[in-house]
Structure 1
Amino acid sequence: MTLPDRSSLSRREYARALVAAGGVAALSACLGVDGNDGERDVPPGTSDPDALPERQHAWNEALETDADGNVRLPEHHVLVPLSLRDDPDEVASETTEDALRTLERAYEWSNDGLVFTVGYAPAYFDRFDESMPPSVDLPDPEALTDRESPEFDEFDAVIHLASDRPDVVLEAEEGLFGERETLNGVDVEATLADVFERIDDRRRTGFVGPGLPAERTDVSGVPESIPEEAPFFMGFRSGFRESQATEDRVTIDEGPFAGGTTQHVSSMDLQLEVWFEQDNHYQRVSKMFSPEHAEDDLVGEHGERLGATSGLTDERIEATSADARERGVVGHAQKAARAREDGDPLLLRRDFNTVDGDRPGLHFLSLQRGIDEFVRVREAMTGADLDVPFANNGIRHYIFVNRRGNFLIPPRPLRSLPSPDPDPT
């Protein structure tokens, strides 16, 4: 891939563009931005990877929080899709584990270091004679509305790398495939290159953080009117602590994969020009949150008035059908919240903005105990039961899903080429 032209980009924009480009040349350019290759201040990892949490998805305690106590996701994200070269065996499993442990020894489990997961698609498990245990809900992905016709992730596995440091996600990715002899001072003694093939045309990248979307107005389809401090393309904060499922809630609690979770990834394009230039702020708040949020001015310019919660009370959620019928508009968050169980959210979202393909988009990444729970939330968000014009049915008019994928994130002891029915010992 051609490297970006630095002359028209800030240092921050250039680094983000290099993550999107990927590869050895992008890593070299990223390290050269500050001229500090070999002299970086990246915190080292642990000498004992076994001391890390058993859950791969246990990120929250290690990540920073904002002033309201919401978990602050790392700024830079890469999803690396993988295809097995041969059927898995003990040697391949050991090689995979050694490569992943190299990352854990090289980088602190934190925003400044690296957090990651490895997940397996239904296609990976289809090669085995054994069936998946009933405690794991991992169906093939499918279209979830009659308005979408997405392609599906049918490769074997995906690694999600995340860090505040663009050089770290690039270096980790290249080190996993033998393109680096050391990672943050740690020798690379095993790589995934003999086990997996990278599927470069399915590689996905992105970013999240205040001010980052507003820096992408050079991309076609990204309007100048995005709020300066907005962390997401659609202009509002997300990931409110009290509106997210806990890591406990999304963890599989029985069977051989207890301690794991499932992951859904939807890749979508965003129609931002219509969102920002056809609708006014009042309309956007109504469609993103609820009409009452707009009437009572609960949100602010980009969500700064919302602390650790989206502000969706039981009364606002229960009013969804009445708002559709009487006001002619319902909120995206308002609709999705109808799927809560005993008042608790079902999904833990770790999604991020993207300009993959030189268009604004979102890689919606959610963790949940089973994929059926994602489907329940998606059906509630679709709002097919609501008597409301499509253009006012939350944000459905502005999002276009083009890919879907489902994955099992096993607990750390089973993350390296598991069978469908692994020996719990």
Structure 2
Amino acid sequence: MEAVSRDRMTDKARELSRREYFQMLVATGGMAALSACLDEQESTETQAVPQGDPAKRPARQHAWNAVLGEDEHGNLRPPAHRVLVPLNLVTDPNEDDSATVESAFRSLESAYAYDSEGLLFTVGYTPSYFETVGAESPIPAPTALTSDEDPAFDSFDAMVHLASNRPDVVLEAEEALLGAVSAPNDVEMEATLDGIFQRGEPRRTGFVGPGLPKSKGKAVGGVPDELPEDAPFFMGFKSGFAESQASEDRVTVASGPYEGGTTTHVESLTVQLKTWFEQDNHFQRVAKLFSPEHASDELVGNIGEKLGTSTGVAGDIAQQTSTDARNEGVIGHAQKAARAREDGEPLLLRRDFNTVDGDRPGVHFLSHQQTIADFVRTRKAMAGGALAGNGVGQNHGNGILQYIFVRRRGNFLVPPRDMRALPAI
């Protein structure tokens, strides 16, 4: 998105709700957006952001669950605002550069508390990074996973995933890493990434939370009136149920040089919301997202509030996927995905979020897993290719495939925290 002047942002604020305005600023990025965001926060006397202590951060970068809040059912509440910052190496890195990079990350940890009101972040590296530094990549390059997709692939070197309930935090942390802010949250940066990394493309942004998709949709268009006001995701239903999430232990690399780390896959999707809401009724949407049984037995509710902490698709419902295809002519997305579980446990820890990057509704499906092969296995189960012709089509009736389109893929190694600064050099 083009840089927007601070004056234009101020004018825009008069046209938007406060939440819509903050979402626009995060999507825009840059110092002008940060300045406007800080001005708005100051004008409303927002509570100060707590500072942090690097010593209180865990050894695993991806260990966020312990400091996330919970909803009324016990499902974890993900941070509301997200930025995926792509980075390209601009030097032949050495041990001194590694120390500088680590100092920059520790400065952020001093600036912001380790929780959703402060800052949660991970640093991941692509196969391109390992090729650049002359090391064998511990993860494969991304590829197309179905016959009907033709995505672009992430080819930059590293990615920082920034997450907070505070829009000013993700904006300020991003600018501080890249050298544009010297003292985020009144804590001096001891070092930055400037001269070692520069910003790559594409920068990706997004949000999660009840009401945010409908609110943001009003600002950019393309979101039907039928989307429930309190839906936390564009498809209209809750996600991230506790029972359908892998544990942090399950997605942690168990052995080898990066033991204690994890892998990340980012799948950027465009969602055809107009078709989803205007072609199908609520019954059909429930059947396609969960299962035909969920629809006929009214198990879900308006946005998933009846489900508590479990989608209820594991076990019998997952096992009857082929039967539902033949007899019902429709199968559920969650029903298909549950077939990839091991001993009843999901393989993926999802931390995906809504986006309006490019001024169109979509999802950045971000997941952690022990290996990229675990993601591929689960994603192929979601695709349900082997079920086509058995009562459902390649896309028609086959979960939500008719409504989502893959634009981009990326694979990342997220090392343990003590190896996050330029591994393998």
Classify the TM-score, shorter chain.
over 0.9
Deviation at 1:86?
Answer: 1.2
Deviation at 1:50?
Answer: 3.4
Partner of 1:213: 213
Partner deviation per Cα, 1:245-303 (whole Å, 9 max, x = no partner): 00000000101100000000011100000000110000000000000000010000000
Equivalent pairs: percent with the same residue?
59
Deviation at 1:237?
Answer: 0.3
> Please, which runs of 5 or more residues in structure 2 have no aligned partner?
none
Letter in 2 for 1:31: L
Deviation at 1:177?
Answer: 1.3
2:314/2:335 contact within 8 Å kept:
no
Deviation at 1:38?
Answer: 11
Partner of 1:91: 96
Partner of 1:263: 264
C-alpha distance in 2, partners of 1:14/1:228?
A: 18
Partner of 1:408: 413
- Does residue 32 of the first structure (1) align with residue 39 of the second (2)? yes
Structure 2 residue corresponding to 1:41, chosen from 24, 48, 64: 48
Partner of 2:76: 71
C-alpha distance in 2, partners of 1:190/1:373?
A: 36
Letter in 2 for 1:197: Q
C-alpha distance in 2, partners of 1:298/1:166?
A: 35
1:81/1:158 contact within 8 Å kept:
yes
Q: Secondary structure at the match of 2:219?
A: coil
Compute the TM-score of the two structures, normalised by the length of structure 1: 0.95
2:91/2:195 contact within 8 Å kept:
no
C-alpha distance in 2, partners of 1:121/1:298?
A: 41
Partner of 1:319: 320
C-alpha distance in 1, partners of 2:69/2:381?
A: 31
2:318/2:339 contact within 8 Å kept:
yes
C-alpha distance in 1, partners of 2:60/2:162?
A: 16
Q: Secondary structure at the match of 1:117?
A: strand
Q: Secondary structure at the match of 2:409?
A: strand
Q: Secondary structure at the match of 1:305?
A: helix
Deviation at 1:39?
Answer: 8.2
1:217/1:224 contact within 8 Å kept:
no
2:70/2:76 contact within 8 Å kept:
yes
C-alpha distance in 2, partners of 1:89/1:336?
A: 43
After superposing the two structures, state which structure 1 stretch, 32-41 or 283-292, moved more. 32-41
- Does residue 19 of the first structure (1) align with residue 65 of the second (2)? no
Q: Structure 2 matches for 1:31-180, cutoff 5 A?
A: 31-35=38-42, 41-46=48-53, 49-132=54-137, 136=138, 138-180=139-181
C-alpha distance in 2, partners of 1:326/1:34?
A: 55
1:347/1:366 contact within 8 Å kept:
yes
Letter in 1 for 2:4: T
Larger proportion of helix: 2
- Does residue 2 of the first structure (1) align with residue 7 of the second (2)? no
After superposing the two structures, state which structure 1 stretch, 266-275 or 178-187, moved more. 178-187
Letter in 2 for 1:45: G
C-alpha distance in 2, partners of 1:209/1:130?
A: 40
C-alpha distance in 1, partners of 2:400/2:343?
A: 25
Letter in 2 for 1:84: L
Q: Secondary structure at the match of 1:385?
A: helix
> Please, which runs of 5 or more residues in structure 1 have no aligned partner?
421-425
Deviation at 1:129?
Answer: 3.9
Residues 315/369 of structure 1: CA separation in 2 closer, same or farther (3 Å cut): same
Letter in 1 for 2:209: G
2:299/2:306 contact within 8 Å kept:
yes
Partner deviation per Cα, 1:18-47 (whole Å, 9 max, x = no partner): 00000000000001113359985111101x
Residues 325/172 of structure 1: CA separation in 2 closer, same or farther (3 Å cut): same
Q: Secondary structure at the match of 2:105?
A: helix
Letter in 2 for 1:80: V
Query: What RMSD, in angstroms, separates the aligned Cα atoms of the two structures?
Result: 1.4
Partner of 2:254: 253
Deviation at 1:110?
Answer: 0.6
Compute the TM-score of the two structures, normalised by the length of structure 2: 0.95
2:143/2:409 contact within 8 Å kept:
yes
